[in-house]
Amino acid sequence: MAFEKVKRSENYSEWYNNLVKNADLAEHAAVKGCMIIKPYGYAIWEKMQQQLDKMFKETGHSNAYFPLLIPKSFFEKEEKNAEGFAKECAVVTHYRLKVDENRKIIVDPDAKLEEELIIRPTSEAIIWNTYRSWIQSYRDLPILLNQWANVMRWEMRTRLFLRTSEFLWQEGHTAHATAEEALVETKQMLDVYAEFAETFLGVPVIKGVKTSNETFAGAVETYCIEGLMQDGKALQMGTSHFLGQNFAKAFDVKFQTKEGKLEYVWATSWGVSTRLMGALIMAHSDDEGLVLPPNLAPFQIVIIPIYKTDEERARVQEKAFEIKKTLEKNNISVKFDDRDTHKPGFKFAEWELKGVPLRIGIGPRDIENGTIELARRDTKEKSVINIEGIDIFIKNLLEEIQSAIYIKAKSFRDSSIHKVDSWDEFTKVLEEKAGFLSAHWDGTSETEEKIKNLTKATIRCIPLNNEQEVGTCVLTGNPSSQRVLFAKAY
């Protein structure tokens, strides 16, 4: 395998594309904007799913599944939601093909659907249409559901994982009796996302609220976690929406209170997607390839045998299996790369490219000495250690790597938050340093829009528990009560 190697520092976006392809994560599909997630990439996604799913269940949610196709009439009920997504909806208009005179397959004009169907860009419409029939009394509440699904948004510009037309995600949809309860839910799920991002992806995130410009179509408030990538651009990694009674009103979902009054139901929705794969890649990887945090690596450690003769191979194999078993007993996932078709050097490079956190090299020399060679992917440190007590050693080391990756990303992120107090400073820092700009803003959509047009930077969020501080807007000089975070974003 000869890889076209692109340096991160030279062309970040090309580096990213190359890495996704070379590390066997995904490739472009025949259909524009769609991707094929390859087994290795999908294995990482599955790990994310498993962990998130566990966390959702721990917080009282159950999984369910709602259909891909949504009648247009449902979709248009929540006006803002419909408007927000209208431009990117794929529409099913026919239910049949036929063979024409030229033996070509064509859409059968006689098979036009009476009502057009939308391929879900998100499922609030179909779910709230369903919730109407599920909810009558306060006893039916809360409803705490999640679904793992694919959605489609016909994007104009796509990038593998970061923005594809079809993507995989989970969407939670909950229904509550009170606004307070729904708000608690919204924030709880935001916390779940933040914890997941930091402990599993190893990506530090800032929790915040979106400005009205950036609020989800149909939501009252959108909370988000924002991460920072190595090129200084921000990435929205998850959102949790307080939907108020918007969907309940649009779909006429009411319940009877203890007191016998009819009230509209309060709602939340929250989601993270395969975009997290993009975050994972862009937050940690280097010129040698992917760097995976142990908590999400399909293999936490790879064992590469070194030998010349068949006799040596057999001896090394035996020892390698022994080590593999010992590690597996400690819940460490191990790949023993016993392919005889590739040389060790090739395997070293390949598994580095794929981001496996630790590598064991073992050969005849080691067997004599009772040692192995251990190499860390994140720091590229190599050491020779005794086989004795290897399980505990590696278990601890994996934890150390997980935290080292996080700390590295965090110190980068922390040093990339720049306080700026004038327009000159704003544009200069944005140009020269990128990252987050913490700046005063007068709170109007107009100003936000102007700044976006002038610099391409948007307000990523108003951090939660933001320090209140009197100041003046960087652009207009109007009074402001707090700083918000600007950045160029993916």
Partner RNA sequence: CGGGGUGUAGCGUAGCCAGGUAUCGCGUCAGCAUGGGGUGCUGAAGGUCGUAGGUUCAAAUCCUGCCACUCCGACCA
String marking each residue 406-445 x if it binds RNA according to CB under 7 A: ----------------------------------------
Closer to RNA by CB, 138 or 148: give it.
148
Q: Can you tell me which of 123, 130, 240, 273 binds RNA, judged by CB under 7 A? A: 273
- Contact stretch for RNA (CB under 7 A) within 134-142, 323-331, 336-344, 467-475: 336-344
Q: Can you tell me which of 171, 366, 442, 448 binds RNA, judged by CB under 7 A? A: 366
Closer to RNA by CB, 258 or 308: give it.
308
What contacts 202, CB < 8 A, 6 or more positions away?
283, 284, 293, 295, 402, 405, 406, 409
Q: How far is the CB of 92 from RNA (least distance, A)?
A: 18
Degrees (nearest 5) of the Cα angle 490, 36, 75?
65
Q: Is 307 in the site for RNA (CB under 7 A)?
A: yes
Q: Is 380 in the site for RNA (CB under 7 A)?
A: yes
String marking each residue 39-78 x if it binds RNA according to CB under 7 A: ----------------------------------------
Q: Is 341 in the site for RNA (CB under 7 A)?
A: yes
Q: Can you tell me which of 72, 159, 233, 410 binds RNA, judged by CB under 7 A? A: 159
Q: Is 286 in the site for RNA (CB under 7 A)?
A: no
Closer to RNA by CB, 67 or 345: give it.
345
- Contact stretch for RNA (CB under 7 A) within 52-60, 173-181, 271-279, 385-393: 271-279
Residues 117-136 that bind RNA (CB under 7 A): none
Closer to RNA by CB, 135 or 243: give it.
243
Q: How far is the CB of 19 from RNA (least distance, A)?
A: 11
String marking each residue 4-43 x if it binds RNA according to CB under 7 A: xx-------x---x----------x-xxxx----------
Closer to RNA by CB, 81 or 438: give it.
81
Closer to RNA by CB, 255 or 337: give it.
337
Q: Can you tell me which of 98, 342, 419, 450 binds RNA, judged by CB under 7 A? A: 342
Q: How far is the CB of 22 from RNA (least distance, A)?
A: 8
Q: Is 208 in the site for RNA (CB under 7 A)?
A: no
Would you say 197 and 272 are in contact if contact means Cβ atoms under 8 Å apart? no
- Contact stretch for RNA (CB under 7 A) within 60-68, 154-162, 399-407, 414-422: 154-162
Q: Is 470 in the site for RNA (CB under 7 A)?
A: no
Q: What is the 3-state secondary structure (H, E, C) of the chain?
A: CCCCCCCCCCCHHHHHHHHHHHCCCEEECCCCCCEEECHHHHHHHHHHHHHHHHHHHHCCCEECCCCCEEEHHHHCCCHHHHHHHHCCCCEEEECCEEECCCCCEEECHHHEEEEEEEECCCCHHHHHHHHHHHCCEHHHCCEEEEEEEEEECCCCCCECCCECCEEEEEEEEEEECCHHHHHHHHHHHHHHHHHHHHHHHCCCCEEEECCHHHCCCCCCEEEEEEEECCCCCEEEEEEEEEEECHHHHHCCCEEECCCCCEEECEEEEEEEECHHHHHHHHHHCECCECCCCCCCCCCCEEEEECCCCHHHHHHHHHHHHHHHHHHHHCCCCEEECCCCCCCHHHHHHHHHHCCCCEEEEECHHHHHHCEEEEEECCCCCEEEEECCCHHHHHHHHHHHHHHHHHHHHHHHHHCCEEECCCHHHHHHHHHHCCCEEEEECCCCHHHHHHHHHHHCCEEEEEECCCCEEEEECCCCCCEEEEEEEEECEC
In this structure, what token pair is assigned to residue 246? 């918007």
In this structure, what token pair is assigned to residue 325? 């078993």
Q: Can you tell me which of 123, 129, 158, 240 binds RNA, judged by CB under 7 A? A: 158
Q: Can you tell me which of 261, 343, 419, 433 binds RNA, judged by CB under 7 A? A: 343
Q: How far apart are CA 147 and CA 41, in angstroms?
A: 21
Q: How far is the CB of 220 from RNA (least distance, A)?
A: 14
Q: Enumerate binding residues for RNA (CB under 7 A).
A: 1-5, 13, 17, 28, 30-33, 87-88, 153, 155-159, 162-165, 167, 214, 216, 224, 236, 239, 273-275, 288, 306-308, 340-346, 348-350, 352-353, 361-366, 372-373, 375, 380, 382, 456
